[in-house]
Structure formats: structure tokens, C-alpha cells
Amino acid sequence: MNWPLFSVIYSIAATVITGVLMITALLSPFNQIPHIQMAVAVGILISIPVGLFFTKKVGSITGNEEGYKV
């Protein structure tokens, strides 16, 4: 796996998904601190498979599926 690509895609996905879930939590009746913390935790966990999926897709498009080699 291409770990540098995964770290970039994961950081973008985690920011976007966590932000969407936090805004949803703040606009819903569940706007207390524990609910917002739960939205952050769920956003971080959901971002892992999303990052893996898009890393494999981009790696297959570019032909660099094996990852970074020195």
C-alpha cells in the first residue's frame, strides 16, 4: 500500500467527514458535548475505510499500487 498517499487522503477524508458530522450534531437536538465528541470519534473511524478505498482507487489509476519505494 502507498502509505504517503494514504496519509494525505486520510487527513482530507477525516477533516471532511468529521466536519460534516459535527455540523449535523450541532444543528440537531443532540448538541451537547458528549454527542459532539461521539460525532468526532465516528468521523475518525469512518475515515479509515474511506481512505483505504480511495488510496486503492488512485493507486490503480496511476499504476503505483505497491507504494513508495526508496
Residues 6-56 pLDDT 10s: 999 999 999 999 999 999 999 999 889 999 999 999 999 999 999 999 998
pLDDT given at position 33: 94
Record the cell numbers describing residue 28, joined without a space. 440537531
pLDDT of 2 higher than 80: yes
Average pLDDT over residues 50-70: 78
